[in-house]
Amino acid sequence: MNPLLLKGVLPYGEGDPVDVLVRDGVIAEIGAIDADDVETIDGNGAVLLPGFVDLHTHLREPGREDTETIETGSKAAALGGYTAVFAMANTDPVADNAVIVEHVWRRGREVGLVDVHPIGAVTVGLKGEKLAELGTMAKSAAGVRVFSDDGHCVHDPLIMRRALEYSKALDVVVAQHAEEPRLTVGAQAHEGEQAARLGLQGWPAAAEESIVARDCLLALHAEARLHICHVSTTGTADVLKWAKARGTKVSAEVTPHHLLLTDDRLSTYDPVNKVNPPLRATADVQALRRALAEGVIDCVATDHAPHAVQDKDCEWSAARPGMLGLQTALSVVVEAMVKTGLLDWRGVARVMSERPAEIAGLPDQGRPIAVGEPANLVLVDPDATWTVRGAELASVAGNTPFEGMELPGVVTATLLRGRVTAGRIPA
Partner 1 sequence: MKHLLSTEGLDRATATSILDTADNLKRALLGREVRKLPTLRGRTVITLFYENSTRTRVSFEIAGKWMSADVINVSAGGSSVSKGESLRDTALTLAAAGADCVIVRHPASGAAHRLAGWLAQAGTSVVNAGDGMHEHPTQALLDAATLRERLGSIEGRRIAIVGDVLHSRVVRSNVHLLSALGADVVLVAPPTLLPVGVQNWPVTVSHELDAELPSLDAVMLLRVQAERMHGGFFPSAREYSIAYGLNENRLGLMPEHAVVLHPGPMLRGMEIASAVADSPRAAITDQVRNGVHLRMAVLYHLLAHEEETS
Sole window of 54-62, 146-154, 195-203, 417-425 interacting with partner 1 (rule: CB under 8 A): 195-203
The correct pick among 109, 139, 197, 246 for binding partner 1 (CB under 8 A) is 197
d(CA 108, CA 89): 15
Closest approach, Cβ 215 to partner 1, in A, equals 24
d(CA 240, CA 230): 13
Q: Does 268 help bind partner 1 (rule: CB under 8 A)? A: yes
Residue 171 or 193: the one with the smaller Cβ distance to partner 1 is 193
User: In 3D, which of 257, 259, 279, 282 has the Cα closest to residue 268?
Assistant: 279
Sole window of 155-163, 239-247, 267-275, 347-355 interacting with partner 1 (rule: CB under 8 A): 267-275
Helix (H) or strand (E) holding 67: none
- Long-range pairs for 75-78 at CB < 8 Å and ≥24 separation? 75/113, 75/394, 75/422, 76/304, 76/324, 76/326, 76/327, 76/393, 76/394, 76/395, 77/113, 77/114, 77/326, 78/113, 78/114, 78/414, 78/416, 78/421, 78/422
Q: Does 96 help bind partner 1 (rule: CB under 8 A)? A: no
Site for partner 1 in 203-262 (CB under 8 A): 204
SS3 5: strand
d(CA 253, CA 88): 14
Q: Does 352 help bind partner 1 (rule: CB under 8 A)? A: no
Sole window of 152-160, 184-192, 228-236, 340-348 interacting with partner 1 (rule: CB under 8 A): 184-192
Q: Does 181 help bind partner 1 (rule: CB under 8 A)? A: no
- The runs of H, that is alpha helices, within 171-306 are 193-198, 205-222, 234-245, 256-260, 282-294
Closest approach, Cβ 196 to partner 1, in A, equals 3
Angle at 69 between CA 68 and CA 70, to 5 degrees: 130
Residue 303 catalytic? yes
Residue 36 or 315: the one with the smaller Cβ distance to partner 1 is 315
Q: Does 91 help bind partner 1 (rule: CB under 8 A)? A: no
- Cα 4 → chain centroid: 28
Residue 320 contacts residue 311 (beta carbons within 8 Å): yes
The correct pick among 200, 252, 357, 410 for binding partner 1 (CB under 8 A) is 200
Residue 233 contacts residue 208 (beta carbons within 8 Å): yes
Q: Does 283 help bind partner 1 (rule: CB under 8 A)? A: no
As a residue count, the chain comes to 427
Q: Does 346 help bind partner 1 (rule: CB under 8 A)? A: no
d(CA 277, CA 322): 9
Q: Catalytic: which of 303, 311, 344, 364?
A: 303
Q: Does 183 help bind partner 1 (rule: CB under 8 A)? A: no
Closest approach, Cβ 198 to partner 1, in A, equals 6
Q: Does 99 help bind partner 1 (rule: CB under 8 A)? A: no
Residue 46 or 200: the one with the smaller Cβ distance to partner 1 is 200
Residue 270 or 364: the one with the smaller Cβ distance to partner 1 is 270
Q: Does 282 help bind partner 1 (rule: CB under 8 A)? A: no
Residue 313 or 406: the one with the smaller Cβ distance to partner 1 is 313
Residue 5 or 397: the one with the smaller Cβ distance to partner 1 is 397
Helix axes 70-79, 98-111, angle to 10 degrees: 50
The correct pick among 97, 316, 361, 426 for binding partner 1 (CB under 8 A) is 316
Residue 8 or 204: the one with the smaller Cβ distance to partner 1 is 204
Residue 35 or 196: the one with the smaller Cβ distance to partner 1 is 196
Neighbours of 37 (CB within 10 A): 8
Q: Does 372 help bind partner 1 (rule: CB under 8 A)? A: no
The correct pick among 2, 282, 310, 387 for binding partner 1 (CB under 8 A) is 310
Residue 351 contacts residue 52 (beta carbons within 8 Å): no
d(CA 52, CA 304): 14
User: In 3D, which of 357, 365, 371 has the Cα closest to residue 26?
Assistant: 371
User: In 3D, which of 325, 320, 265 has the Cα closest to residue 300?
Assistant: 325
Closest approach, Cβ 89 to partner 1, in A, equals 29
Closest approach, Cβ 188 to partner 1, in A, equals 8
Q: Does 317 help bind partner 1 (rule: CB under 8 A)? A: yes
Which positions lie near partner 1, rule CB under 8 A? 188, 191-202, 204, 268-270, 310, 313-318
Point out the residues that are catalytic.
303
